[in-house]
Amino acid sequence: MNLRLSPDAVEAVRREAERTGRSQQEVIREAVGRYLGLVTGESPRSELGVLVAMGNVRPPRAPSRKVVKRLRLPPGMTSTDLLDRGDRI
């Protein structure tokens, strides 16, 4: 089966998959199942979902994010130089 979605729907599925750590296929499968009444309530599909459902771990407070750009120190400066400042008490 092939499924063609609008660009907005594709982007929404991609964002939801990234936010929840699931594949886009899982997100679509669950959405279709919910729409057709085949899936009810919380249905943990990932290992994290199972652990949360069992009460072994708490759900994350915020979704993880990809690091866009790392900061680089100027040449000759180290992280120790940043910590060893005169204006710190």
User: So what's the pLDDT on residue 41?
Assistant: 58
Higher model confidence: residue 40 or residue 16? 16
At residue 13, the 3 state secondary structure works out as: helix
For residues 22 and 45, is the Cβ–Cβ distance under 8 A?
Answer: yes
What is the rounded distance in angstroms from the CA atom of residue 89 to the CA atom of residue 87?
7
- Name the residue ranges covered by the structural domains of the chain: 7-83
Confidence check: pLDDT of 28 > 80? yes
User: So what's the pLDDT on residue 42?
Assistant: 54
Average pLDDT over every residue of 27-47: 74
- Interval 40-87: pLDDT, tens: 655 545 677 767 767 777 777 777 777 778 888 899 988 888 887 676
pTM of the model: 0.46
Average pLDDT over every residue of 20-27: 88
Residue reference for tokens 């939801």: 16
